[in-house]
Amino acid sequence: MKKAIVLTGITTTGTPHLGNYVGAIRPAIEASKDQHVKPFYFLADYHALIKCHEPERVKRSSLEVAATWLALGLDTDNAVFYRQSDIPEIMELTWLLTCVTAKGLMNRAHAYKAAVAENEQGGESDPDKGITMGLFSYPVLMAADILMFNADKVPVGRDQVQHIEMARDIAGRFNHIFGQHFTLPEAVLDEKGATLLGLDGRKMSKSYDNTIPLFEPENRLKKLINKIKTNSLEPGEPKDSETCTLFSLYKSFATSAEVEEIRQKYAEGIGWGEMKRILFEYINEQIAPARSKYDELMAKPDHIEEQLQEGAKKARAISTPFLQELRQAVGISRISA
Ligand code: TRP
């Protein structure tokens, strides 16, 4: 039976945090061990340039993201783990797709529309102020990432679902004009990740600056957990677990029996200091082995680079001949053999 191709990218602009771990990394690593699927996971460094013009940061983030995935035990025998910019065919495919993508489709992209709305609300006379072509046409790049490997399923957060639909549209359009070349991908939503809360009680996200980095040293992790916002109820007063950030974090790590036990303690009035201690110890214990692996890997960037090169080799074994086929299909080829 043909294995289902599962593909996802991680934009390299920041340091992986607990929200990324629970929502995206942990399920992806689990999936990498499933012999019924063929995972393609990549560092989306071209995507990083859309929002980040700090070269050191992009570079550092690529290293951190790669080290994180490897430290957490990604099965690189089954999964193809690579860096987008090592696959030049993706860029070339981006152009082939750009030429069949309706501009109107891009006008409707949420990320672009949000940027325009922000300009308009700010009283800007030019609605496109500060918006690059990178931001505008980024769904085409993302479609190329996905279609290059004919992914069946694409696990993403809610904010990315529209991009998968656009990739389907673009694939359908290309197939219609040039013949059947692309699989139409499907988005797979991970609901759990969307609800992990950050230090201030809003969704944990880089853009809110409320994250807990996954591999912070132990003492920093403890400090950050102590900083999580709670209400002013005293120990002994019953507390609502469902609206509590600490509880939401605990739930993402613990078994359901453990969660029940803590829910009971909330009803009995557990103190915030006590709950923070329990949460820290619980997360720390789960993360500690991968954290030391991570620290080891960060000290051996050559090893990480080697792994990425291996991945690129496997990816290009597919993308190089496939792009040849696509070039033929659109009429770009040598005139004579
Ligand atoms: N744009 C995605 C994000 O910001 C990352 C990404 C890039 C991606 N290319 C992809 C995700 C292809 C899935 C498939 O989260």
Domain layout of the chain by residue ranges: 4-195+301-330, 215-296
CA 154 to centroid of ligand 1, rounded, Å: 9
pLDDT digits 0-9 by tens, 131-164: 999 999 999 999 999 999 999 999 998 889 999 9
**Least reliable range by pLDDT among 18-32, 127-141, 165-179:** 18-32
Token look-up 């109820």 returns: 233
The answer to whether 251 and 259 are in contact (CB under 8 A) is yes
pLDDT of residue 198: 95
Amino acid in position 56: E
Quick check: CB of 154 below 6 Å from ligand 1?
A: yes
Quick check: CB of 8 below 6 Å from ligand 1?
A: yes
End-to-end CA gap in the chain: 36
Confidence of residue 337 (pLDDT cuts 50, 70, 90): confident
CA 315 to centroid of ligand 1, rounded, Å: 17
CA-CA-CA-CA dihedral for 235, 237, 240, 245, to nearest 10: -20
Superfamily of domain 4-195+301-330: HUPs (3.40.50.620)
Q: Which of 6, 11, 206 to mutate to test the pocket of ligand 1 (most atoms within 8 A of CB)?
A: 11
pLDDT of residue 336: 86
d(CA 139, CA 207): 20
Token look-up 């949420």 returns: 110
Superfamily of domain 215-296: Tyrosyl-Transfer RNA Synthetase (1.10.240.10)
Q: In whole angstroms, how large is the CA radius of gyration of the chain?
A: 22
pLDDT of residue 83: 98
CA 288 to centroid of ligand 1, rounded, Å: 28
